Structure 1
Amino acid sequence: MLVRGIWQDGIDPTGFTEVLTDRRTWLVTGQTLYQAALGTVGAIILGVPGAYVLYRCSFRGQRAARALATIPFVLPTVVVGVAFRALLGRGGPLESLGMDQTVTAVILALVFFNYAVVVRTVGGLWQTLDPRAVQAARTLGASRSRAFLTVTVPQLAPAIASAGAIVFLFCSTSYGLVRTLGSPGYGTLETEIWRQSTSMLDNRTAAILSLLQIVIVILTLLVSEALSRRTAGRLQLRSRHVTPLARADAAPLVMTAATMVTLIAFPLIALVTRSFRVGDGWGTDNYRLLGTSGTGFAGGATVFEAIGNSLRIGLIATLIALAIGVPLALVLSRRVHGPLASGQSILAGAILLPLGVSAVTVGFGFSIALDSPPLDLRSSPLLVPIAQAVVALPLVVRSLTPTLASIAPGRREAAATLGASPWRVLATIDGPFLLRGLGIAIGFAYATSLGEFGATSFLARPDSQTLPVIIVRLLGRPGENNYGMAMAGAVVLALLAASIMAAAEAARKDPR
């Protein structure tokens, strides 16, 4: 991307100057940072009370409540965007509010999507905090709110900051949500990269904008990693402290319940309900129409064909991600010292980049780097799976590395001392632990590939379009049938992603 997009005709400082002094560049940059900041603040404000109720307290039905809070994060971004269109758009229960295709709708969807990040990150630390510090403050006369602000908040600060950095990263790279929810005139760095490269055919401007986004992402990742290490250090070797819900917990309980119902459950219910809406009545016509390509389209894949394409491409992408990710996880899980440790850290950071760098940037880089000899893959059916594997690879490595790192080094050394070959050590020591995390790694990779939209929107050919691409295409065309089909397609995509994650979780094995 850098060579073809920026240095193809030699270094030209005027190209950078023109792009970086263009008013539109800083308009879309400001919009990107603005929506990311508001989405982060909203997720923290709603997520901290949720972390307390769902992790610090105990009550009947807690496991189901945690599962409901986690659902948004495992859904593809296209599904989240369509769900809020079903809630706020035409025919939706909140259409009268006039928030369809507004910045407010995008920010609400960002909070919905990232709520689970704050709840799980902050809740995981909160349940390890020793309650005696708060009890001592109360004994000395501090009110409940003062004890929370002066004792609990400082202890939770690393987790809140770490979650905030991750949420900011996700909010600033939310291409699918902006494409499905934003107005035609609303743009972020990602949508501008897509517009410059596909509509304006200006790869140099798109490449410079990609660099600008990568700088933002790297800075956020550095902050996130530093804060995550501090949070992990506080979580080590701590026992869990939970208490039954009490009358004094009424405020966070009501806030959490309201969030779960209005922000999480309501959009999902609206999506399913709207998918069965046909004119002034109800029926399954929208689902039957999935056997077509929609109204007003000339050729192209039907929605059912797109589902098959998504499943096939996702499977190939998952196999590629596993073939690369398993050896990397084995390398990164080893405890090394000296120069090797520095190299290991650099490798770990490099693998994390696709997790933060927008999938749009990945797709754009593939589209301009692999479209001519000697690496002409534009017509290859492997191009989209390879791009999706790049996006899924960090999740595979991050899923497997902690499990493998938990193996005591002495076990491998003892096996080697007793004459076991390296392959035997790998099979008998690492193998059971690898199987323990392999199910969830497969689930993350397959579900991510199934719902991937950013890179695929650049690379998918007309005869191999995936379900997220078809859904966005239907949503952007006029016609009640197209709109209803988009709703039905989003429900199908959500069910597929949720089923894959559930099956992967069920397949997890503990080492014997």
Structure 2
Amino acid sequence: MGTTGRESLIRRSGVVARAYAVADAVGARGAFLATCVVLLVVFYYPVGTVLAAAVTSGGHLSIAPLWATLTDPFYFGALAGALANPAGAPDAIVGWVRAGFPAVRTGLFGFTAYLAVLGTGGAVLVGLPGAYVLARYEFRGRETIRSLTVVPFVLPAIMVAVGFTAMFGTHGALNDLLGVVGLHLTVAFDLPLVVAALTFYNAPLVTRFVVAAADTVDARAVETARTLGAPRWRAFLDVVAPQLLPTFLAAVLLVFVFDFMAFPIVLALGGLQLATVEVWIYSLVSNLDLTEAASLAVLEAAITLTLTYVYLRYERGGGAGTASATVERVPLVGPPSAGRLLAAAYALVALVLYVGPLASMIAESLTRAGSLSTANYAFLLAQQLGSGGTRPTVAVSNSLVFAVGAVAIAVPMGVSVAVVTSDKGRLRRLAGALLMAPLAVSGVVTGIGLLQGLVFGVDVLGYHLSVTGPVAIVAAHAVAGYPFVVRNVAPLLARVEGDLVAAARISVPVPRGRSATS
């Protein structure tokens, strides 16, 4: 190939690269724009109409409803008095110290945060040992167990509530076993049961985050530290821990947000006696007190969106690279060691916490009047074959149709958002946090907003527009689920090397009959 041919090839390479760049930009931005339109119609507008009640009074803008909630001791405890009378706060603190630091009322928000701290602590205590076992040891079925860690996170809340009642309830399987040795536990519909259920849900999340980060740790850096004389624990603290810390903190923040907004588990296992902010919003909405519910939702969203922004910051700082040599795992079966004893203890905890509730639920389904029976399944079969009532297969088929439809919409939405917001920068993190709002806004408020806006309909230019039936259900589930797609795709995009993408964009196929060097 002469000079003219090479120049022609270079020009064609530049044209192709620019064409690919334009196509990428148009495709990504077009999909992102479509996602924003869907979010505006299905989420932001409906939720905004509900939250507007928190900043309006008598049809005019006012912070009176929001301020009334902030200064209500029921919601904020002692902090409400400090907000209502800031000048008296120093004297109140002095009086509290002189009284010997008595217990201070924290209000509904304080209890919600307390429950979230307990749930997050349980998730860390159970999730970290699981992450250690999966990251440290090699054994048959390891990948299967790693894949199964996502199962608890996607189980229906009512199923988990039934399983935990069947396992840990007053007449549950655990008490049946303890009764053999004369022991009895009463944890049904109490704080420990709610915390255990939250741990059941979120400990696998900690495990998956930390294991994924451990796979990016460079073994050569660890070996270098050991070669320089660092003991194993010092090499872990100096080399491994700093690489795991951002991902671990991201997992903790995400779990805290989920626990802070816990609704079905708390309502089913604790009721109004253990009401959190989310449960109380539901109670207010049920009583048609939308103004107070909106004020609570605004304050809750302010907290969770702030935490989501911080979570995104830590997430981008962890697991962003790929290890050229990963840390080698050791066989699980071998001579006794502290790590292998930890693995055995964790297996026992997992058996009680994860297998126990699900197995107890299955056992309860095969029990009637204290004896083994298939009467429950016979009832379902009679419903299916009979002419009255709802047939079980109808419910199952509806669930499958809604799930497939939601996935078909949520995946493109999540991928487009992950691509557009993958660049670093404060504005990108802020945009990412706002786009993650479906993850951090009360599901109850979202549902009410959809009913008032999308389902009941709105008048636009003289036309009444509404979306009902399966379309509304699929759209609502897609908007609720797409943040999880973003959170799974974004870390993978961060690991893609920019040089490889650039090389792929400028590569030009060699014409037939010519070699690359001709």
Normalised to the residue count of structure 2, the TM-score between the two structures is 0.68
Cα 1:320–1:402 change in 2 (3 A) is same
> C-alpha displacement at 1:364, in angstroms?
2.9
Could you say which residue in structure 2 is the equivalent of 1:499? Answer: none
Q: What is the Cα deviation at residue 165 of structure 1?
A: 1.1
Paired position in structure 1 for 2:358 = 268
Whether 1:409 aligns to 2:493 is no
- Per-residue Cα deviation, 1:379-399 (whole angstroms, up to 9, x for no partner): 554322221111012233445
Aligned to 2:331: 244
Aligned counterpart, 1:32: 112
Provide the residue aligned with 1:441 in structure 2: none
The 3 A distance-change label for structure 1 pair 161 and 309 is: same
1:470 alignment partner in structure 2: none
Q: 1:285 and 1:134, CA in 2 relative to 1: closer, same or farther beyond 3 A?
A: farther
Matches within 5 A, 1:198-213: 198=286, 200-213=287-300
- Post-superposition Cα deviations, 1:345-394, rounded to whole Å, max 9, x if no partner, equal 55544332223334333223323334353266475543222211110122
Corresponding position of 1:21: 71
In 2, Cα distance between equivalents of 1:342 and 1:415: 36
Matches within 5 A, 1:125-204: 125-127=213-215, 128-130=217-219, 131-132=222-223, 135=226, 152-198=240-286, 200-204=287-291
Partner of 1:496: none
**What is the match of residue 104 of structure 1?**
192
Distance in 1 separating the partners of 2:209 and 2:426: 27
1:44 aligns with 2:134: no
Please report how far the alpha carbon of residue 197 of structure 1 lies from its aligned counterpart in structure 2 after TM superposition.
Answer: 1.0
Identify the residue that residue 313 of structure 2 maps to in structure 1: 226
- CA-to-partner distance for each residue in 1:418-457, whole Å, 9 max, x for gaps? 9xxxxxxxxxxxxxxxxxxxxxxxxxxxxxxxxxxxxxxx
> After superposition, where does 1:310-325 map in structure 2 within 5 Å?
310-322=399-411, 324-325=413-414
Q: Give me the whole-angstrom Cα distance separating, in 2, the residues matched to 1:275 and 1:113.
A: 22
User: What whole-Å deviation, never above 9, does each CA across 1:186-213 have from its counterpart, x for those lacking one?
Assistant: 2111111111112x20111111111111
With over 3 angstroms needed to count, the CA separation of the structure-2 counterparts of 1:28 and 1:129, relative to structure 1, is farther
Cα separation, 1, equivalents of 2:278 and 2:508:
51
Moved more, 271-280 or 354-363: 354-363
- Find the aligned partners of 1:376 and 1:209 in 2 and give their Cα distance: 29
Deviation at 1:319, TM superposition (A): 3.3
Matched, 1:284 2:369: no
Kindly tell me: are residues 365 and 243 of structure 1, through their superposed partners in 2, closer, same or farther at Cα, counting changes over 3 Å?
same
Aligned partner letter, 2:440? G
Q: Deviations over 1:456-484 (max 9, x none)?
A: xxxxxxxxxxxxxxxxxxxxxxxxxxxxx
Larger Cα Rg: Structure 1 or Structure 2?
2
What is the identity, as a one-letter code, of the residue corresponding to 1:412?
R
Distance 1:86 1:45, change over 3 A: same
Please point out which of 76, 84, 90 is paired with 2:164. 84
CA distance in 2, matches of 1:145, 1:410: 41
Partner residue of 2:3? none
Judged with a 3 Å threshold, the aligned counterparts in structure 2 of structure 1 residues 325 and 117 are, in CA distance, closer, same or farther, namely closer
Q: Distance in 2 between matches of 1:278 and 1:393?
A: 41
| Mapped partners of 2:290, 2:343: distance in 1 | 51
TM-score (norm 1): 0.69
C-alpha contact (below 8 Å) 1:134/1:152 kept by paired residues: no
Distance 1:350 1:279, change over 3 A: same
In structure 1, how many angstroms separate the alpha carbons of the residues matched to 2:415 and 2:223? 43
Kindly state the Cα deviation for residue 159 of structure 1 after the two structures are TM-superposed. 2.7
Instruction: Kindly report which structure 2 residues correspond to 1:445-484, keeping only aligned pairs within 5 A, or say none.
Output: none
AA paired with 1:242? R
- Give 1:363's aligned residue: 447
DSSP 3-state at the match of 2:452 = helix
What are structure 2's unaligned runs of at least 5 residues? 1-46, 77-106, 176-183, 512-518
Structure 1 residues 82 and 317 mapped into 2: Cα distance closer, same or farther (>3 Å)?
same
Letter in 2 for 1:411: A
What residue in structure 2 maps to residue 214 of structure 1?
301
* Alpha-carbon shift at residue 238 of structure 1 (Å): 5.2
Give the aligned residue type for 2:446. Answer: V
- After superposition, the Cα gap between the structure-2 partners of 1:328 and 1:28, relative to the gap in structure 1 and judged at 3 Å, is same
Q: Give the match's secondary structure for 1:314.
A: helix
Deviation, structure 1 residue 81: 2.3
Deviation (angstroms), 1:401: 5.5
Write the letter of the residue equivalent to 2:441. Answer: V
Q: Which residue identity does 2:475 align to in structure 1?
A: I
Letter in 1 for 2:458: P
Matched, 1:74 2:162: no
Pairwise CA distance, 1:287: 2.7
TM-aligned CA deviation for residue 40 of structure 1: 1.1
Unaligned runs of 5+ in 1: 294-298, 419-512
Instruction: Quote the RMSD (CA, aligned, Å).
Output: 3.5
SS in 2 for 1:382: helix
1:52/1:252 contact within 8 Å kept: no
CA distance in 2, matches of 1:414, 1:151: 38
Matched residue of 1:233: which SS? coil
**Residues 1:124 and 2:212 are matched in the alignment:** yes
Aligned-residue offset at 1:54: 1.0
Q: 2 CA distance for matches of 1:77 and 1:417?
A: 57
The letter of the residue matching 1:79 is M
Structure 1 residue 409: deviation in Å?
3.4
Classify 1:315/1:160 alpha carbon distance in 2 versus 1 (closer, same or farther; 3 Å): closer
